[in-house]
Amino acid sequence: MSRFLSKNYEKLVPYTPGEQVNVKVIKLNTNESPFPPSPKVKEVLSEEVIDKLNLYSDPELKELRSAIAEQFGVTHDMVFCGNGSDDVLAFAIMGFCGAGGKLCCPDISYGFYPVYADIFGVELEQIPLKDDFSIDVNDYIGKNKNIVIANPNAPTGLALSFDEVEKIVSSNPDNLVIMDEAYMAFCGESCMELVKKYDNLLVTRTFSKSHSLAGLRVGFGIGSKDIIDDLNKLKYSFNPYNLNTLSIKAAAAAIADNEYYDDKIAQIVETREKTLADLRALGFKCTDSKANFIFASSDKIPASELASKLRENGILVRYFNKAKIDNYLRITVGSAEDMQTLVDCIKKITEA
Ligand code: PMP
């Protein structure tokens, strides 16, 4: 730490991202897609676009917001875009819960929520999940605090139904409910329709998982025009050009290519179900994940040891050294071949 860091940030515990590596490994640790992005992405990243990089990107993000709005049947003024959905979550938690505000989230969930709460001076209540890792909706009824929930939740993969989300949103009319749908494309029940009915709901999504564009850094939030106006006010007070021209073009092309992504998402879901069946056959306890990852635990070997042994075999998975989940691994659903290699390797390790 330098002598210059503000006292406010001395005790900050930053989020720890999953490892990125340059050597050839089977990378199942950060929930990236095993598929390349849509070919349409390459097509739009033309020389003509590159030649115009002397100009600032469009701060209004008209092209991308319109493309997203069209997909979800909303107007472009209900869409806010960020540099990854982390950026959208940061603006929302800063703007709607910041400096003395109140927020609650499940105790086992996306590790960034407590970090944002900390950096923005938000009082955070972490509500315990049930023993089976599911969320008890009753814990969030009439909460009188802002709420952020990942749906499907991470790292458990378990999802709330549309009706359950509506109960939470409708019973907290004077607080913002952020539903983080980073993993929703992989088979949950999206609550996106509810943004037309409730003005206290913000639904966030990302191009990083279902759209094979984690490296592009684009995410978005959809909510009432007033919420989006507020987020834009914050953005224009911080970094008006928060998306670059290449990201805007590439994401707009990707979001329109449903044919390509529907097929890739279906393949990931099929591989997830097969891998779940294979791991359960090996005696693993796995949640009924609706995301592009599996959350698994074995009585035969501690999760930390299994993660190390997999690593020795060139397979990276995510281990969280955290109470309640420290005997579980979060394993990204990769290609069918890579998941077969994983299962074979686990069999070898657990039978040795
Ligand atoms: N929400 C959840 C639940 C996540 O797991 C992630 C990925 N780490 C994000 C949001 C942020 O993703 P991105 O910034 O890549 O859009």
88 Cα–ligand 1 center, Å: 10
Q: What is the pLDDT of residue 24?
A: 85
Work out the percent of the chain whose per-residue pLDDT is above 90: 94
**Cβ 222 vs Cβ 72: under 8 Å:** yes
List Cβ neighbours of 243 (8 Å cut-off, separation of 6 or more). Answer: 57, 61, 64, 81, 82, 83, 218, 251
Encoding tokens for residue 297? 């635990």
Q: How confident is the model at residue 21 (pLDDT cuts 50, 70, 90)?
A: confident
| Alpha helix stretches (DSSP H) within the chain | 39-44, 47-51, 62-72, 85-97, 112-119, 162-170, 225-236, 245-256, 258-281, 303-312, 336-351
Q: What is the DSSP letter of 175?
A: S
Query: Which DSSP helix (H) or strand (E) runs through 285?
Result: strand 285-286
Q: Is residue 29 over pLDDT 80? A: yes
From 32, 86, 289, give the residue whose CB has the most ligand 1 atoms within 8 Å, as the site to mutate: 86
Pocket test for ligand 1, best of 15, 30, 83, 112 (most atoms within 8 A of CB): 112
Q: Which atom of ligand 1 is closest in space to residue 86's alpha carbon?
A: 14
CA of 53 to the centre of ligand 1 (A): 27
Atom of ligand 1 nearest to the CA of 150: 3
* Beta bridge partners of residue 316, listed in sequence order: 27
Q: How far is the CA of 248 from the centre of ligand 1 (A)?
A: 18
What three-state secondary structure class fits 94? helix
**Nearest-CA residue for atom 7 of ligand 1:** 182
**23 pLDDT exceeds 80?**
no
What was the pLDDT predicted at 4? 86
Q: Which residues contact 346 (CB under 8 A, 6 or more apart)?
A: 279, 282, 306, 310
Bridge partners (DSSP) of residue 286 are 296
- Torsional class of 217: left (φ above 0), alpha (ψ -120 to 50), beta (otherwise): left
Q: How confident is the model at residue 22 (pLDDT cuts 50, 70, 90)?
A: confident
CA 61/CA 39 separation, integer angstroms: 22
Residues 117 and 90: beta-carbon distance below 8 Å: no
Ligand 1 centre to CA of 344 (Å) is 29
Residue 242 DSSP code: -
Q: Which residues contact 8 (CB under 8 A, 6 or more apart)?
A: none
* Top CATH class, 55-257: alpha beta
DSSP codes joined into one string, 181-219? -TTGGGT----GGGGGT-TTEEEEEESSSTTS-TTT--E
- What count of residues does the chain have? 352
Say whether pTM exceeds 0.85. yes
CATH class of the domain whose range is 7-36+259-351:
alpha beta
How far away, in angstroms, is 188 Cα from ligand 1 center? 16
Q: Residue 171: is its pLDDT beyond 90?
A: yes
Residues with CB under 6 A from ligand 1: 84-86, 110, 150, 154, 180, 182, 206, 208, 214, 219
Confidence of residue 331 (pLDDT cuts 50, 70, 90): very high
Question: How many CA atoms are closer than 13 Å to the CA of 174, on its beta-carbon side?
Answer: 5
Task: For 338, list phi and psi in degrees, rounded to 5.
Answer: -65, -35
Residue 18 has pLDDT above 90, yes or no: no
Pocket residue to mutate for ligand 1, from 105, 109, 110, 242, most atoms within 8 A of Cβ: 110
The pLDDT of residue 99 is 84
What is the Å distance from ligand 1's center to 15 Cα?
A: 12
Per-residue model confidence as pLDDT tens digits over 273-325: 999 999 999 999 999 999 999 999 999 999 999 999 999 999 999 999 999 99
Instruction: Write out pLDDT tens, residues 52-90.
Output: 999 999 999 999 999 999 999 999 999 999 999 999 999
Position 352 confidence tier, pLDDT thresholds 50, 70, 90: confident
The answer, yes or no, to whether residue 138 has pLDDT greater than 90, is yes
pLDDT above 90 for 105? yes
- For β-strands 146-150 and 123-127, DSSP reports them as unpaired
Delimit the domains of the chain by residue range: 7-36+259-351, 55-257
Which atom of ligand 1 has the smallest separation from the CA of 154? 3
Of 105, 178, 180, 243, best ligand 1 pocket probe by most atoms within 8 Å of the beta carbon: 180
Helix axes 336-351, 258-281, angle to 10 degrees: 10
- Over residues 182-211, the pLDDT tens digits come to 999 998 899 999 999 999 999 999 999 999
Residue identified by tokens 């990089």 is 53
CA distances from 184 to 28, 123, 180 (A): 19, 27, 9
**214: CA distance to ligand 1 center in Å?**
9
Atom index in ligand 1 nearest the CA of residue 218 equals 16
